[in-house]
Structure 1
Amino acid sequence: MNTPALRITLVSETFPPEINGVANTLGQLGDGLRQRGHQVEIVRPRQAGELPAGDDQNLLLCRGWGLPGYPGLQWGEVSMHTLLRRWRRQRPDVLYIATQGPLGLSALRAARRLGVPVVSGFHTNFPQYCGRYGLGLLARLLTHYLRWFHRRTAATLVPSASQTLELERRGFERLALMARGVDACLFNPTRRSQPMRDTWELGPEDIAVLHVGRLAAEKNLGLLRPCMDALKKTYPHKRLRLIVVGDGPQRAALEQQLPDAVFCGAQRGESLAEHYASGDLFLFPSLTETFGNVVLEAMASGLAVVAYDEAAAAQHIRQGHSGALAMPGDQVAFIDAACWLLEESETLRRVRLNARQHASRQGWPAIVEQFETHLYNACLLARAGSEPAGTALAVKPGSPAPRG
């Protein structure tokens, strides 16, 4: 089926080279849509030290406001009238709004004023984060706002089945599952580096226990120390070291709690891939993920992942075959799962191999094609004069759209 090229606007408060799951996903989707022949406009805040967009007609940079306690992350702000003027000159066929802050709200209002269809994404579970910080009232207010926001879009794309069920229970409508992919060429066991392991003071037979991610309170990183203590007590004859890759507001506190760990800071690209591949066991104790891209990256790198049975881990890890799972919140089971993986060297080897084989089949092209279908469906609904209140028209993904 030959499908027309679209002018697609992606609206997000975070974008590469910023390091987080939302930025990574938006970068992959944007690149994939361009490869399929679409024109892609990006609306996002200006990043630190970034020059004006100049003559780039497909980039609108707006003012950004830093998030307290989260250096490097920001809200975006642009007036609805700025967007109206821009989009009246060159009208998008469809918008994808990835974040629902002031920038996303302005984009939604402008699109509705112009009759441009909108698809939204649920990338970050801010109400759940607030609950973890003990801010129950703010969590309820955020849920109410997000439900209001997403009801005004043609569809809301959610990355995991568990998150979809949670949102359905909270009254969200028109939810569609759209998972995430992984670059299995970049994240690959062949990037394993013994010179890097030497800097960690680990030999070929020693165990590098890896964690990759933002070092923040909602990531449940307090579980790292008891887990490492249990591993060392259970296997006193093994040499183990915790390797922490990432940065964030909890880094200083974690460095005090984990004096024997190696803190590598934020990494990206081939350096990040080399860090992954040089590990052996991956601990992912987070309970607040909408997906958790690092799970697939670790699996693609040939690591045995220990995680709670939700989000990406629930979708991609088969218990005892390609990783180890614990019921959400069961810390004892999480620690037991990590200990089980190191019980026999053959178990660890087999799980790592199975993890790599599974992740290598989870490429981005199929995800981009699925995303394209959701955008086409929103356009068809708008052209049919439908309000976003029913089942989207089915569009079968076809060949790459022609340019022009």
Structure 2
Amino acid sequence: MWSQPHIESPGPCRTRLHLALVTETWPPEVNGVAHTLARLVEGMRERGHRVQVARPRQPGEVARPCGAGDESVACDHLLAGLPLPGYSGLRMGLPARRRLQALWSEDRPDAVYIATEGPLGHAALRAARRLGIPVASGFHTHFDGYARYYGVGWLTPLVRAVLRRFHNRCDVTLAPTGALAHTLAAQGFQRVRVMARGVDTRRFTPARRSSRLRQQWGAATATSVVLYVGRLAPEKNLALVVDAFRAIQAARPDARLVVVGDGPSRTELERANPDAIFTGQQVGQALAQHYASADLFLFPSTSETFGNVVIEAMASGLPVLAFDSAAAHEHVTSGVSGARVPLTGTASEDAAAFVGAAGALAQDPEAWREMGRQARAHARGLDWVEVVAEFESQCLGILKEGRDASPAMDG
């Protein structure tokens, strides 16, 4: 049977949870999943819950001791991991079922949240099931959609089947948008619910616009600066960033393209586009300045479950050009805060439509400013406080439901 949560009154929520969060990505790694998880953990601790994070040890990292007390403190359980091929700085966790099972037998959490479906995530699911601990999972990454970008599209059904089996053995799977939840349900994923994403509008704000940074980019006051932020990898559809920019450049010859991020595609992109500015990864205030100092944000990826960069750009006062999916579908309004390009399912037609939309925007750059104001106004309503409250509610929900028949255990 499941353990009972600690009933106290530590803050906004009367039920104080002991939550174990398992992930194979964590700051200072730079990606949307790591950022989202850090905000969830911070928010849950602020609400009085005890959260312990199990994750791979990062290079040079020294573990801090974790006690079994019920105080709401930062506590990480560092486990073995390996570098992820092709992604400098990212780690892949190794199977650790016995260690997690021993850890949770001694210091039993009320619930486990598994954020990644790698070897560590699978081990955590098996350990939790053996101990009868309820499990929530997050669908943070479209791993099933990545296969076609790496020349092994035939693997997509197999990868999807593995993901489906994994998530269907959890008590709830949290998806970032209603559209994705509907898609997953149609693919046979069970017990899928929506947990939105938030943005820090105090960090990402037009007030961080920097004339000095624009000068470094060779941009005068009236120069149109087009921005991309994200991993530089095949699944991000980066050729379309360049093609869309060239359409803008045809109408605005002095326009500048700034690319923020790193990854396996960077070298080839830099070689092919010597007039573009590649800044590498940016974090914190520097990242916020890069957003705010641009004028238009391009995001042509179709592989996202959400795309935090879209709402970060909006919070920074940028209109967004993106396909009508994930975060853009939820938050961008064409002609008001940017432009959404419908997806037809035909790659060549979709690419042509995206480039056409970029060219259309380039005809009226003066309108970008007003669209940026509207984007900022919308982003101000995406508060992390509400997102954390929903996450808390979902964790409490799987405790209250207390299924008599939980999903089948591994042998």
Whether TM exceeds 0.5 here: the answer is yes
Q: How does 1:176-187 map to 2 (within 5 A)?
A: 176-187=193-204
Task: Tell me the CA shift for residue 3 of structure 1.
Answer: 2.5
Task: Tell me the CA shift for residue 139 of structure 1.
Answer: 1.9
- Tell me whether 51-60 or 77-86 shows the greater mean CA deviation: 51-60
In structure 2, the partner of 1:363 is 383
Local SS of the residue matching 1:72: coil
Equivalent residue for 1:256, pick from 263, 267, 271: 271
Contact 2:95 2:122 in 1 (8 A): no
Identity across the alignment (%): 48
In structure 1, the partner of 2:15 is 4
Q: How does 1:129-148 map to 2 (within 5 A)?
A: 129-148=146-165
Task: Tell me the CA shift for residue 2 of structure 1.
Answer: 5.1
In structure 2, C-alpha distance between the alignment counterparts of 1:59 and 1:363, rounded to whole Å: 26
Task: Tell me the CA shift for residue 74 of structure 1.
Answer: 2.0
Q: Does the alignment pair 1:43 with 2:17?
A: no
Q: Does the alignment pair 1:14 with 2:34?
A: no
Equivalent residue for 2:404, pick from 375, 385, 398: 385
Local SS of the residue matching 2:42: helix
Q: Does the alignment pair 1:167 with 2:181?
A: no
Q: How does 1:3-152 map to 2 (within 5 A)?
A: 3-55=14-66, 58-152=75-169
In structure 2, the partner of 1:332 is 352
Equivalent residue for 2:363, pick from 325, 337, 343: 343
Task: Tell me the CA shift for residue 386 of structure 1.
Answer: 4.8
Contact 1:161 1:311 in 2 (8 A): no
Contact 1:342 1:348 in 2 (8 A): no
Local SS of the residue matching 1:9: strand
In structure 2, C-alpha distance between the alignment counterparts of 1:54 and 1:91, rounded to whole Å: 17
Task: Tell me the CA shift for residue 160 of structure 1.
Answer: 1.9
Q: How does 1:198-237 map to 2 (within 5 A)?
A: 198-236=215-253
Change (3 A) 1:2 1:247: closer
Q: Alpha-carbon deviations, 1:31-71, whole Å to 9, x = none?
A: 00001000000000011221233456631101111222122
In structure 2, C-alpha distance between the alignment counterparts of 1:202 and 1:124, rounded to whole Å: 35
Contact 1:188 1:277 in 2 (8 A): yes
Question: Which ranges of 4 or more aligned residues in structure 1 deviate by more than 4 Å?
Answer: none
Task: Tell me the CA shift for residue 335 of structure 1.
Answer: 1.7
- Tell me whether 207-216 or 74-83 shows the greater mean CA deviation: 74-83
Contact 2:177 2:306 in 1 (8 A): yes
Task: Tell me the CA shift for residue 279 of structure 1.
Answer: 0.4
In structure 1, C-alpha distance between the alignment counterparts of 2:13 and 2:31, rounded to whole Å: 34
- Tell me whether 319-328 or 271-280 shows the greater mean CA deviation: 319-328
Q: Which runs of 5+ in 2 are unaligned?
A: 1-11, 69-74
In structure 1, C-alpha distance between the alignment counterparts of 2:234 and 2:366, rounded to whole Å: 35
Q: Does the alignment pair 1:194 with 2:205?
A: no
In structure 2, C-alpha distance between the alignment counterparts of 1:97 and 1:131, rounded to whole Å: 26
In structure 1, C-alpha distance between the alignment counterparts of 2:66 and 2:404, rounded to whole Å: 35
Contact 2:205 2:317 in 1 (8 A): yes
Q: Alpha-carbon deviations, 1:325-346, whole Å to 9, x = none?
A: 1122412221222223232244
TM-score (norm 1): 0.92
Contact 2:13 2:47 in 1 (8 A): no
In structure 2, C-alpha distance between the alignment counterparts of 1:2 and 1:62, rounded to whole Å: 31
- Tell me whether 46-55 or 279-288 shows the greater mean CA deviation: 46-55
In structure 1, the partner of 2:9 is none
What amino acid maps onto 1:96 in structure 2?
Y
Q: Alpha-carbon deviations, 1:263-306, whole Å to 9, x = none?
A: 10001111100110000011101010000000000000001110
Contact 2:300 2:323 in 1 (8 A): yes
Local SS of the residue matching 1:70: coil
In structure 1, C-alpha distance between the alignment counterparts of 2:247 and 2:95, rounded to whole Å: 50
In structure 1, C-alpha distance between the alignment counterparts of 2:147 and 2:179, rounded to whole Å: 19
In structure 1, C-alpha distance between the alignment counterparts of 2:45 and 2:371, rounded to whole Å: 36
- Tell me whether 117-126 or 329-338 shows the greater mean CA deviation: 329-338
What amino acid maps onto 1:351 in structure 2?
M
Larger relative CO (CA 8 A, sep 6+): 1 or 2? 1
- Tell me whether 154-163 or 241-250 shows the greater mean CA deviation: 154-163
In structure 2, C-alpha distance between the alignment counterparts of 1:116 and 1:47, rounded to whole Å: 27
Local SS of the residue matching 1:71: coil
Q: Does the alignment pair 1:282 with 2:301?
A: no
Q: Which runs of 5+ in 1 are unaligned?
A: 390-404
In structure 2, C-alpha distance between the alignment counterparts of 1:160 and 1:325, rounded to whole Å: 16
CA RMSD of aligned residues (A): 1.6
Contact 2:224 2:252 in 1 (8 A): no
In structure 1, C-alpha distance between the alignment counterparts of 2:220 and 2:85, rounded to whole Å: 41
Contact 1:97 1:121 in 2 (8 A): yes
In structure 2, the partner of 1:272 is 287
Local SS of the residue matching 1:81: helix
In structure 1, the partner of 2:71 is none
In structure 1, C-alpha distance between the alignment counterparts of 2:359 and 2:206, rounded to whole Å: 22
Contact 1:160 1:177 in 2 (8 A): yes
TM-score (norm 2): 0.91
In structure 1, C-alpha distance between the alignment counterparts of 2:256 and 2:203, rounded to whole Å: 24
Contact 1:62 1:78 in 2 (8 A): no
Task: Tell me the CA shift for residue 133 of structure 1.
Answer: 2.2
What amino acid maps onto 2:324 in structure 1?
D
In structure 2, C-alpha distance between the alignment counterparts of 1:360 and 1:149, rounded to whole Å: 35
In structure 1, C-alpha distance between the alignment counterparts of 2:120 and 2:102, rounded to whole Å: 16
